[in-house]
Structure 1
Amino acid sequence: MDFTPDDGAATAAGLAADVLGRTAGEEDDQVWSALGKAGLLALPVPADLGGEGLGFAEVAAVLTELGRAAPPAVAMSGYATLAMGVLPVDRFGSARQRAGLLADVATGALRLTAAVHEPSAPLAGVPATTATPEAGGWTLTGVKTNVPDAADAHRVLVPAATYSGAELFLVDPGADGVTLTETRTSSGAPSYTMRLSGVAVGDDAVLASSSAGDAHAALRRYVLAGAVALGAGIVAGALSLTTGHLAARTQFGRPLATFQAVAQQAADVYITARTLRLVADTACWKLATGREADADLGVAAYWLASEAPKALATCHHLHGGTGVDIDYPLHRFSSLCKDLTHFVGGAGHRLGELGVPAGGV
């Protein structure tokens, strides 16, 4: 198979790389603003709402570049807003929901996120959070964990169990009954535990789907696909930094890269990076083209959780003492990799999920 990106994805990746290169070292808000001004946040937004009307292939290309070069908070914000917010809202939202949210996402003025995890249940297929019907709306009760960017998001997509199955609800993180507790992450990217205590939402807060659970299943697929695209960029960025270090650093009058043992370890990281990119591209391509992607998403997510942390550990080892300095750029990659691995549930969880459809239970 030929997974060479089409012109749209290649252009999106090149533009993202250019913007991130020009804004390196700037504050997170400045980088986010630059992404918006460049039109990168508008890629999946419909044309009638000020966007480009493109799909997941272009989003995946941008996420890979965010993993390769963006500050961790910006990378996770992009992941949350584009993969976990815009795509499901555009696909399942009403005209009013789409118009009220997506136009401002395109400019960078508004962020979205999703609360897909629950205590001891990463990407819970059957949410313990409940939605009880009330006159003209619903009451939500439950606990969500590891919600990225929740405090800065305009709306949080909250999966909750109803009498007919799991549905997605648009919840204002500042609404009565919502409590956000910030939780520490390895990279410093903001993440929260979200408690919902009888949170009232209207019927217009529900994302419609042809049958109960469809929107929730699609969200779970977007979460995994976005994670592996972002992870592919993280490992590629760490490898590039490491090979540059090995070529420039000398020992006994020779570049470290010329030592056989060093070259072999760098080759192991290269194999991991290329394999992760292959499985990520396969899964994202199938999802973007409407093909059955669950099996590929499961394999890609397991490879990310199992092999990416090992590759980053090797990169640190190859840097020697430089690799333990948290001010050195490699720390950005390894800490973000830890957060992303945790976000998809870890290697053991992903292995156990390989026999379960990504969108199923």
Structure 2
Amino acid sequence: MDFGFDDTQQAVARLAGDVLAGQADPESAWKALAQAGLLALAVPERLGGDGLGPVEVAVLLAETGRVAAPLPVLETLALGVLPLARHGTGDQCERLLDGVVAGNRVLTAGTRGEVTVSGDRVSGTLVGVRYAQRAHRVLVPAGEHVYLVDPADATLTATGTSGGEPECTVTVRGVAAERVDGAAADLRRLALAGACALGGGLVAGALALTAGHVRGREQFGRPLATFQAVAQRIADVYVGVRTLHLATWSACWRLGAGRDADADADADADADLDVAAYWLAQEAPPVMEACHHLHGGLGVDAGYPLHRFSSATKDLVRFVGGVEHRLARLADRIAG
């Protein structure tokens, strides 16, 4: 099985890396992504996009993670554009994706919480909804379908995060919401795939930062990288990074190749996603801890860039439900 990128995916990675490397301010970076056409990746061609799929979006998310850029790429593309492009009607896509290409519209989804539906009315509470304050619509899965909630009709309560990116508890009471038929399961798959791709980029970026540090930092007249204990520790980090990478791209490949067209293929995609999400929740935090440790005293400096990676990783692990939840999902799958 070859998870190497094709020419288009390589071009997306190079362009995203170049754009994000030159932008320090999040607003400028978001506009730069739009100007480079990267926010249009999954938007249908008839609406001015490229009509690409989950793998290309995952490539962009991985590059976003490599620089720990606090941008609503996961929310807008993986949680918003992809589910709508794959399941929405032509009219829904035309109305809801207008403005995404130019970077003027943010979308998000509330995948955790208790929701009930009566007719076209949605009630309930959603927790940990990322970028809800900026979103044009919040996609809410309930049963087999997804409902489109206008944040202006909801009560938004800001909640704290490790990385500082905006997040809310969203409460709705009998709010009228448009329905996207049959999109709920796919939205959950795309949310996990996108989170794992972003997390894979975060740990890869932290590894690159740490490897550069131990190569350049000297102790007793020798680079830290030449010490056996340091080499062994960073090798363990590398194994964790590569395993998350492979688990993530296996899942994204299934979603992007259309392998989820029947029940058996859906089960295969879900199994891959459960493995990738568990690996993110279980192994990404120790990877970050090892990177901080290998930086020595510099690793505890809150102003050092490594803290952006570890803080974003903490939020992402919480987004996928935490290690106990992911382990329980795997256990249930193994138990049949």
Q: TM class, shorter-chain normalised?
A: over 0.9
Whether the 8 Å contact between 1:41 and 1:82 is mirrored in structure 2 is: yes
Provide the rounded CA distance (Å) in 1 between the counterparts of 2:298 and 2:331: 41
Cα distance in 2 between the residues matched to 1:312 and 1:355: 26
Describe the superposition over 1:265-316 as per-residue Cα deviations: whole angstroms up to 9, x where unpaired: 0000011111111111111111111223111111010001000100100000
Deviation at 1:70, TM superposition (A): 4.0
What are the within-5 Å matches in structure 2 for residues 60-99 of structure 1? 60-71=58-69, 73-74=70-71, 77-99=72-94
Residue 200 (structure 2) aligns with? 232
1:272 maps to 2:248: no
Instruction: Identify the match of residue 244 of structure 1 among 212, 215, 220.
Output: 212
2: CA distance between counterparts of 1:21 and 1:93? 34
1:1-361 equivalent positions in 2, closer than 5 A? 1-23=1-23, 25=24, 27-71=25-69, 73-74=70-71, 77-118=72-113, 128-133=114-119, 138-160=120-142, 165-175=143-153, 178-201=154-177, 205-209=178-182, 215-291=183-259, 292=265, 293-355=269-331
The TM-score with structure 1 as length reference comes to: 0.88
**What is the CA–CA distance in structure 2 between the aligned matches of 1:328 and 1:199, rounded to whole Å?**
44
Quick one: which amino acid aligns to residue 147 of structure 1?
A: V
Question: What displacement does 1:132 show?
Answer: 0.8
Cα-to-partner distance string for 1:181-220 (whole Å, 9 max, x where unaligned): 110000001110000022123xxx11023xxxxx110001
Can you list the C-alpha shifts for 1:80-139, whole angstroms capped at 9, x where unaligned? Answer: 111000011111112111001213111111010001011xxxxxxxxx311112xxxx22
Cα offsets for 1:123-182 (capped at 9, x unmatched): xxxxx311112xxxx22110000000000000110123xxxx44211111012xx10011
Aligned with 1:106: secondary structure? coil
Are 2:195 and 2:316, in contact at CA under 8 Å, matched by a contact in 1?
Answer: yes
Contact 1:157 1:170 in 2 (8 A): yes
**Paired residues of 1:51 and 1:103 also in contact (CA < 8 A):** no
Secondary structure, aligned partner of 1:338 = helix
Cα offsets for 1:244-285 (capped at 9, x unmatched): 000111111111111000110000001111111111111111
Q: 1:81·1:112 contact (CA, 8 Å) conserved in 2? A: yes
Percent of residue pairs identical? 54
Work out the CA distance in 1 between the residues paired with 2:31 and 2:188.
Answer: 28
Distance 1:325 1:96 in 2: 50
* Letter of the structure 2 residue corresponding to residue 89 of structure 1: L
Q: Which amino acid counterpart does residue 65 of structure 1 have in structure 2?
A: E
In structure 2, C-alpha distance between the alignment counterparts of 1:142 and 1:278, rounded to whole Å: 37
Question: How far apart, in 1, do the equivalents of 2:250 and 2:332 lie?
Answer: 18
User: For this pair of structures, how many residues does the alignment match?
Assistant: 325
Output the CA distance in 1 between the equivalents of 2:6 and 2:332: 31
Structural RMSD (CA) = 1.1
Letter aligned with residue 347 of structure 1: V
Question: Is the 8 Å Cα contact of residues 68 and 309 (structure 2) preserved in structure 1?
Answer: no
**Contact 1:141–1:196 (CA<8 Å) still a contact in 2?**
yes
SS where residue 175 of structure 2 aligns?
A: strand
Whether the 8 Å contact between 1:249 and 1:255 is mirrored in structure 2 is: yes
Which structure features the higher share of helix residues?
2
Instruction: Give the SS at the match of 1:206.
Output: strand
Which residue does 2:262 correspond to in 1? none
1:296-338 CA distance string (max 9 Å, x none): 1110100010001001000000001100111100001100110
Q: Aligned equivalents of 2:123 and 2:110: distance in 1?
A: 13
TM, length-normalised to structure 2: 0.95
The AA in structure 2 aligned to 1:295 is A
Q: How much does 1:356 deviate?
A: 5.2
Give the SS at the match of 1:41.
helix
**Residues of 2 paired with 1:34 and 1:356: CA distance?**
43
Q: What's the CA shift for 1:355?
A: 4.7
